[in-house]
Chains A and B, each alone.
Chain A
Amino acid sequence: MNELSRTVTGQVEIRLQRNSFESTIGTVHDRLALLRLLRDVGPALLALLIAVYLVDALMPAAIAVATGALVGTGGQDIMSAVLVLGGILLTGQAVSQFRPAVETLAGGRVDGAHRARLSELATRGATLPALERREVQDLIKIATADPLNWVDQTPGDGAVTQLELVVRYVGLLSSAAVLAAWSWWLIPAVVLPAFACRLLMVHEWRGHFRVWVAGIEHDRQKNYWNELAFRPAEGREARIFGFGAWLADRYLRHVNAHLGPVWSDDRRMARRTWWMFLLAAVPLAGVYFWVGYGTAAGHGSLAQLTAVVTAAWSMFQMIGRGYDMIALEGSRVVVAAIRDLERLLPSEPVQVAQGSGVRFAGVRFAYPETSRQILDGVDLEIAPGERVALVGLNGAGKSTLTKLLAGLYQPDSGTIAVETPVAVVFQDFVKYQLSLADNVTLGSAVPVDGAALESACEDAGLADVLSRLPDGYDTPLARARTGGVDLSGGQWQLVALARALYATRTGARVLVLDEPTAHLDVRTEADLFGRLAAITKGISVLLISHRLATVRQADRVALLDGGRITEQGTHEELMALGGAYARMYAIQAERFTRGFEDRLEEGELI
């Protein structure tokens, strides 16, 4: 991967430049890749799609011939010629009415399969370090292909457009045959300028696409500053600090930086479009005159003249389009991104040794491409059923330790043995826009267990919330869903806890709680910690909390300092030891009695 391609914009641009220098074989290769995506459409629907396209593509030639026949019948057989033409028109019109449905379904199936592939890639193994890489995140952004503006195209758009293009050329052959019936040289006389039109259009659109994409970062910025004028948090500050006009100004700056070049390209393109007029009008006039003159001179019938006149024009319409290039170009970037992701994301999960409880032995770990040794020989054991509290100063590596425990990272050295599966409440737990039941039962992979769901919610203290939900467990936890409700930060935290408890009721023997009460008020927190022992009976618990007053209720306290466990024992033992923990505790207790509170929070490392 090129160094320059660090941003999304960079990647799109570089890919486009590469495309323009690519050999024809490379382009053909990309286009075949788009066609191969159609395997996800299914044979029956694909056949239907091809049939629909084919009818559309053959229609101009068929109408030309049928009209010619009608003109040529002179009296007899008018009835049958009229009926043939009527039948052709009816078929053509009827079929094309279903084209959007068939096209959308086919493209949608391609996109659905694409999304499934991307989700699978992202979550198939314990790929967190790979997934967190900037370049992978940028590629995912591209591969997601969520159309936000006209340059974003999905693989489905590309595949369907490519197929249509292929079928359109088949239709072209039929129109060419109509021309050839009069004289073979009509083919080059019409096809060459029509192709010139197409080349011109494709060239123009590609250029325009590039001009637009070159400023895409400004487009994102402009949307961002636009949004800020309508958000409550920023709106409040804009009023207090008086920067409302500044926001509009910043928005306009990005608009002009992005659209200034696009608009001048619009004007240039508009002028260029008149070349198309010349490219079409001059050869058509010549062909029409020549064929008309020939007919007048007795070479060929009026029927043939009619057919040629109609077919010649339809060729221009069929070939001289360039907009399809957007779908092809836009989606090729997406297809290439997923190819790169397949290469960059490993398929093998991190191997975690099975054990009973948790055992860390000499574990060392540093984040990739950083020099700081976060963990520097950690030895820590949690017996089955034991509750251990992990404390430490800012940036001591407590969250990193939980990620290693959960098998999300591989230690650089040392061994980790854990009784899997593990249940974890992360600080940034997921808020699924699904029902409460789904939100809780997504804690583990086992089939949904109703009794475990109920007891987990009860023990997490959700009874009160539950009683106020209109559809109980089935209420979606998002206002954007029908019948859904929004929960407060504290209520969400209880849901996350219920999710982890559910996991412990359905097989997990180890529970990790990383600051599980940050959003709870004083009363709820005190109540929860009071019940913690009872609701986690028999489970090994690792609790990270910054309130040392709650930590001391654990069976054992471990202090993480300088990448190692420097002290461990019961609260009383550590206090008696008079080490770092005792000092921290004393500071906090004193701070509290002086009126200061007892939180010692971990700041995320940059």
Chain B
Amino acid sequence: MTGLRWELFRLAWREHPGLSALIVVYLSVGLASFAAIGLTLRALVEAARDGHVRTLAVAAASAAVAFSLDWVVGHLGISLRVHLAEKVGVTRITPELMLLSNDLPEIEHLERTDFQDRLTILIGQGWALGDAPWAVLESIFLSLRLLVTLAVLGSVDPWLLLLLPCAGAQLWLESFGRRRMVAAQLAAAEDQRLQRHLFADVCVNPGAAKEVLVAGISSRVATLQRHAYDRALRTRVGGLAASGRWSAAGWALFVAAFTGAIGLVAATGSPGDVVLAVVIGTQLRAAVEHVVHRSAEAANRITVLEPYRWLRAYAAQRRPAPGRPAPTRLRDGIELRNVTYIYPGTSREAVSSVSAHLPAGSVVALVGEYGSGKTTLVKLLAKMCSPDAGKILVDGIPLPSVDTVSWRAGMSAAFQDFGRYQTTFAESVELGDLGSPIDDAVAAADAETLVARLPLGHKTMLGRRFGGVELSEGQWQKVALARACVRPKPLLFLLDEPTASLDAPSEQAIFERYMERARRIAALTGGITVIVSHRFSTVAGADLILVMRAGRLVEAGKHEELTKLGGIYADLYGIQASAYASRSA
């Protein structure tokens, strides 16, 4: 981590040398002025006692300047540090992280929950990364401040240096207490999240509140929320109190020693020495607390530094290898040869030794129950993951040797779990191919009536998050479909449950346009359309139907062939067919 901090430190110096230098200057000035406070006050008291007016004037002015400088520089130091941390973190580090994440060809890091947990920590924490080296620097300066303070005391009477081990013990007890507090905060986090969920997602959210109102359970939910809140509060306060007890014990020790020291000074030293000792002694608390607080803060930055380091190492390992450009048209098609895929961290074969030929210019449907491996197969075709065994060949060329970016530039997709972009309708669609016209795509997705109903048409803001219009599931799906249609002639068009939330007439309209479009594209480039669906409406018209079960390809053929076969496909089809057949007459 030290290396990483050092790198971040150099980044700050490179980007903002003046600001970085200023912070170091302020830290040094703070150190000097803090030490000067005690010394100048002693001089002041001594000069008053001795009646040296010139010395008095200098001492008075210096004491005033030392006090004020310490105060002002303290303020400025903090705000400058925040300022620099924001500038470096928010404008440099966070975009770097975003690109780092997005430039990874595969998305395992976004799908695995243990990786996702790490990445979540980084969101909105760019400034904490930018601040990481400065937190360390500040805690070093604060420790120096402590040492200087004690050195000044030692100049009064070397015996006072014995306070140093006492301060050390005090620091130790204080940081011990602090660890208790941090542990308590972590322990309270779950109840904290639970109470927030029950409050924000349930009690005051109109969507959920209607269920609460109907069931008449508002007081029970409120009680559950209150209990979680109180538990979290108790745990946190318990940690703070434990931390308080440790530091109080530490202070009792230190104050006892310090009182003895003052007694010594009062008995042997001058009045000025007494003033110096007391002033420094009382400021020591703030100094020690700062050291502990800032060191803990610097240590806490580990929580963001660790995922940052992890992501960079992970990305460095998986940098995409350059490959040959993707073909511009397909002649033969895509061939799967014994393709097997196991999700990292699991042992089950999500796709198990699948072999199939997807002919150029065809519409292929993937059918199967939940978890049968359809979506994984789609992801393999998009190079979102690579087979653990077996091969995928595009016109005979192995897919891994094809450049990922150019392969994707030649495809388009609408996934089951699609993005709901909280921006204007036009932009949400245009994301499908930035800079291209969207009108044809909107028509292809049967979304014209949706646009007509939006208050500002294309310019309507979508989604509740930024005060836009909230769409129904089906309407969001149309936006996603339109986005998938912006690229005019994809070589590979992947549709994973594209119409699950649409009503039947819409689905039918879209599907008919799709088929027509797919045929047109097929004629132009030999492009392949792959559709995953539970719907027989979508499936029946395909050139090839692949039936998956538990990761294996169990049936393949046309609708008529498969219904005659009497296997899984015929069975699933039969469940729905019988609902119409049995009693209608």
Contact = CB atoms under 8 A, between A and B. Distances in A.
B197 interface: yes
Contacts of A81: 266
A10 B533 CA distance: 45
5 contacts: A235-B110, A280-B71, A444-B217, A490-B370, A546-B503
Contacts of B195: 115
A243 B431 contact: yes
B459 interface: no
Contact of A604 (B75, B111, B475, B539): B475
Contact of B44 (A309, A429, A606): A309
B105 interface: yes
A552 interface: yes
Given A93-B248, A101-B241, A230-B110, A236 B415 contact: yes
Nearest to B118: A230
B554 interface: no
A256 B583 CA distance: 66
Contacts of A234: 419, 421
A310 B279 contact: yes
Select the residue from A116, A123, A297, A526 with max chain B CB neighbours within 10 A: A123
Given A116-B222, A232-B111, A292-B56, A63 B282 contact: yes
B469 interface: yes
A285 interface: yes
A97 B251 contact: yes
B474 A86 contact: no
B215 interface: yes
Nearest to B226: A116
Interface in A546-594: 546-547, 549-550, 552, 571, 575, 585, 588-589, 591-594
A603 B369 contact: no
A602 B474 CA distance: 9
Contact of B209 (A123, A305, A575, A602): A123
A89 interface: yes
Contacts of A310: 278-279
Contacts of B110: 230-232, 235-236
A93 B212 contact: no
A251 B98 contact: yes
A426 B210 contact: yes
A259 B98 contact: no
B252 interface: yes
Interface stretch (B147-155, B228-236, B342-350): B228-236
Contact of A426 (B211, B415, B471, B535): B211
Interface string A291-331: 01101110000100110011001001100100000000000
A523 interface: yes
Contacts of B262: 70, 82, 85-86
* A-B pairs, 4 with minimum CB distance: A595-B540, A244-B102, A86-B259, A604-B472
Contact of A277 (B68, B210, B412, B453): B68
A599 to B, nearest CB: 5
B208 interface: yes
B216 to A, nearest CB: 4
A43 interface: no
Interface in B438-490: 453-455, 465-467, 469, 471-472, 474-475, 483, 487
B71 A317 contact: yes
Contacts of A131: 206, 209
B559 A284 contact: no
Nearest to B195: A115
Given A146-B200, A442-B215, A445-B220, 14 more contacts: A7-B467, A230-B122, A232-B111, A233-B417, A238-B102, A241-B431, A248-B95, A295-B49, A296-B48, A305-B45, A306-B45, A522-B575, A592-B577, A595-B537
Contacts of B230: 112
B580 A280 contact: no
Contacts of A251: 94-95, 98
B275 interface: yes
A593 B48 contact: no
B47 A105 contact: no
A479 B120 CA distance: 15
A288 B63 contact: yes
Given A104-B240, A245-B99, A600-B504, A263 B259 contact: no
A205 to B, nearest CB: 11
Given A234-B419, A251-B95, A94 B226 contact: no
Contact of B229 (A99, A112, A222, A479): A112
A528 to B, nearest CB: 12
Contacts of A445: 215-217, 219-220
Interface stretch (A172-180, A403-411, A460-468): A403-411
B504 A280 contact: no
Nearest to A148: B124
B518 interface: no
A502 B139 CA distance: 58
A223 B466 contact: no
B105 to A, nearest CB: 7
B565 interface: no
Contacts of B90: 222, 255, 259
B541 interface: yes
Contacts of B483: 237, 241
A184 interface: no
A234 B421 CA distance: 8
B536 A595 contact: yes
B459 to A, nearest CB: 15
Nearest to B409: A242
A226 B124 contact: yes
A220 B422 CA distance: 11
Nearest to A231: B110
A362 to B, nearest CB: 23
Contact of A288 (B44, B226, B453, B454): B44
A384 interface: no
A351 B446 CA distance: 43
Given A115-B225, A146-B200, A263-B83, A90 B251 contact: yes
